[in-house]
Amino acid sequence: MIRFPFPILCLLLLAGTVAQAQSGTRLTLAEAQAIASERAYAVRYATFDKEEAASSTREIVASGFPQISGSVEYNRYIDIPTQVSSGDMFGFPDYLTTFLGGVAQATGVPLDAPPTDPDAIQEFQFGAEQTVTAGITATQLVFSPSYFVGIQAAKAYASAMEAAESSSIADARRAAGEAYAAALAAEENVAILREAESLAQEAFEQIRALVKAGLADATDADQLELAVTDVAQQRATAESMAQVALDALKFTIGMPVETTVLLADSFETLEGAFNGASVLGTPFDAVRLPEIRTQTKNLELSELGIRNEKAAGLPSIGAFYTNQRNAQRDAFDFLGEGRWYPIQLVGVQMTIPIWSSFAGKERVVQAELTRDRAATALEQLTEAATIEYRAAVSEYTSALEQREQARRGLDLATRILDRTRVRFTEGLSSSFDLTQAQNQRVSAQGSLTQATLRWLNAHLRLQRSLNA
């Protein structure tokens, strides 16, 4: 797929020169599709999703590298915590008591020990009024099956978003082509009505001259004047609709609505550029379609989801290192020469799932159902894409035949109008006959315009169904 460099298009089409600002920006169909592939709103949203998915992939990969965090904690105790213990908790040990008792017995000097109180309680307060602890902690994932599966899933998701962006670009190009063709048809309709108005005005001037000369009835002049008024109203309405179609084109391709746009292509140039035989000769392959690629990636994601749920039952290992310094002061004097006490720790932690009451098994079942749903969706999309291609081929061949019939009808209506004008000039046809012949030709021109528009849209649809 050929994509025009967007910065160049911006300079040529959006900024423009002073002359372009006065006359308008000339825009071909190819340029409109190129701008839409970069600036259409759906494409921009898809680009955001793709970039977000790529960022998520990098985030998941980064989570497996060392993680370092720092912390500083300051505490000021309004009331220092009090600990209590039994009164004899810090008494002599049994062997010392036995020894002293033996000495007293051997020397005859009794021990002058106070009586014991089994209900006595002692109170203690440990620590300083103010403390500060500062340190760093480093962690490193050593082994985690879920991490490796997560990386694969993130990459698959990023690929799915890239395919989704391609799908959005293909849809935007088709929408831009259809909007461009609709704007062309609206301009063509204006041209047809202007020509019809000119012909009706010319016939009216002729009949009015004949009426003044007494060679024609005034009713014929009134009939033609009414026809001129009717065509003028239709032309004014068509001009308004043509501007609406241009605004719709600008909105579709993401161009500011205030931009003045002139359509550089015509139905004739597009007919020469659209090679129907080449498109019809392209074999259908659903795998080329971006929406099929997106769903294929979704199926891959669901398979990875099953692996992730199974990996959740495997052990994971992580290592950590902590280095802290602790200071305790009775007053806020932590920047002085007081002592800081070190705390340093290194370790490895292993998490081993043992029993989840069959919850893990059910999560695997749910992941398998998600996989089956994704496989069914892929099958459905493939069948739908095949049907869409066949319908596009059928519509294209029908549009070709309808356009040829419309051309023959226009040729016939033109010949009828030419003969009727000659007969009207010779006085052999009435103004009603002339008006009817003119209306037939306008109708035939409109039918050809609509047939050409349908053919162009059918061509764009066929291209989209082939991703050509």
DSSP-based three-state secondary structure for 427:
coil
Residue 245 phi/psi, 5-degree rounding, is: -65, -40
CB 130 within 8 A of CB 332: yes
Task: Write down the pLDDT at residue 207.
Answer: 79
Task: Write down the pLDDT at residue 2.
Answer: 35
Residues 155, 121 within the same domain:
no
Residues 269, 415 within the same domain:
yes
Task: Write down the pLDDT at residue 424.
Answer: 79
Residues 91, 210 within the same domain:
no
Which whole number is the average pLDDT over 116-139? 83
pLDDT at 23 over 80: no
Q: Give the helix/strand (H/E) hosting 52.
A: helix 41-62
CB 312 within 8 A of CB 354: no
Residue 53 placed within a domain: no
Residue (of 10, 16, 30) closest to 269 by Cα position: 30
What is the domain range of residue 197? 6-39+144-314+353-466
Residues 331-389 pLDDT 10s: 888 877 788 889 999 999 998 888 888 888 898 999 999 999 999 999 999 999 999 99
Report the C-alpha gap between 302 and 160 in whole angstroms. 12
Q: Spell out the residues 6+ positions from residue 200 whose beta carbon is closer than 8 angstroms to its own.
A: 224, 227, 228, 231, 435, 438
Task: Write down the pLDDT at residue 92.
Answer: 60
14-18, 125-129, 280-284: which is most confident:
280-284
Residue 200 or residue 17, greater confidence = 200
Residue 327 placed within a domain: no
Q: Which two tokens stand for residue 218?
A: 């005034």
Report the C-alpha gap between 56 and 159 in whole angstroms. 12
Residues 206, 304 within the same domain:
yes
Task: Write down the pLDDT at residue 110.
Answer: 77
Task: Write down the pLDDT at residue 114.
Answer: 64
CB 36 within 8 A of CB 250: no
CB 206 within 8 A of CB 422: no
Q: Which two tokens stand for residue 435?
A: 């008006």
Residue 334 placed within a domain: no
Residue 26 phi/psi, 5-degree rounding, is: -80, 130
Lowest mean pLDDT among 3-12, 141-150, 245-254: 3-12
Percentage of the chain surpassing pLDDT 90?
54
Report the C-alpha gap between 345 and 74 in whole angstroms. 21
**DSSP string computed for 83-150:** EEEETTTTS--HHHHHHHHHHHHHHT----PPPP-TT-EEEEE-S-SEEEEEEEEEEEEEE-HHHHHH
Residues 439, 369 within the same domain:
yes
Residue (of 129, 135, 134, 136) closest to 333 by Cα position: 129
Residue 424 placed within a domain: yes
Residues 182, 248 within the same domain:
yes
Residues 284, 362 within the same domain:
yes
Residue 48 placed within a domain: no
- Number of domains comprising the chain: 2
DSSP-based three-state secondary structure for 444:
helix
Q: Which two tokens stand for residue 39?
A: 């600036």
Q: Spell out the residues 6+ positions from residue 23 whose beta carbon is closer than 8 angstroms to its own.
A: 260, 262
Predicted model pTM: 0.78
CB 179 within 8 A of CB 359: no
pLDDT at 82 over 90: no
Residues 254, 297 within the same domain:
yes
Binned at pLDDT 50, 70 and 90, residue 36 comes out as very high
Residue 326 placed within a domain: no
Residues 361, 457 within the same domain:
yes
Report the C-alpha gap between 87 and 77 in whole angstroms. 26
On the CB side of 421, CA atoms within 13 Å amount to 15
194-208, 286-300, 331-345: which is most confident:
286-300
CB 27 within 8 A of CB 261: yes
pLDDT at 18 over 60: no
Residues 35, 157 within the same domain:
yes
Task: Write down the pLDDT at residue 380.
Answer: 96
Burial degree of 137 (CB within 10 A; 0-12, 13-18, 19+)? middle
Question: 435: domain CATH number?
Answer: 1.20.1600.10
Task: Write down the pLDDT at residue 4.
Answer: 39
Report the C-alpha gap between 308 and 363 in whole angstroms. 10
95-109, 384-398, 421-435: which is most confident:
384-398
Report the C-alpha gap between 465 and 220 in whole angstroms. 54
Residues 104-123 pLDDT 10s: 788 877 777 666 666 777 77
Q: What's the longest Cα–Cα distance across the chain?
A: 169
Share the mean pLDDT of the chain: 86
Which whole number is the average pLDDT over 85-113? 72
CB 371 within 8 A of CB 306: yes
Residues 267, 393 within the same domain:
yes
Q: Give the helix/strand (H/E) hosting 321.
A: strand 316-329
Residues 256, 123 within the same domain:
no
Which whole number is the average pLDDT over 392-409? 93
Residue type, 294: T
pLDDT at 25 over 60: yes
Residue 137 placed within a domain: no
Residue 148 placed within a domain: yes
Q: Spell out the residues 6+ positions from residue 190 whose beta carbon is closer than 8 angstroms to its own.
A: 235, 238, 239, 242
DSSP-based three-state secondary structure for 64:
coil
Provide the 8-state DSSP code for 11: I
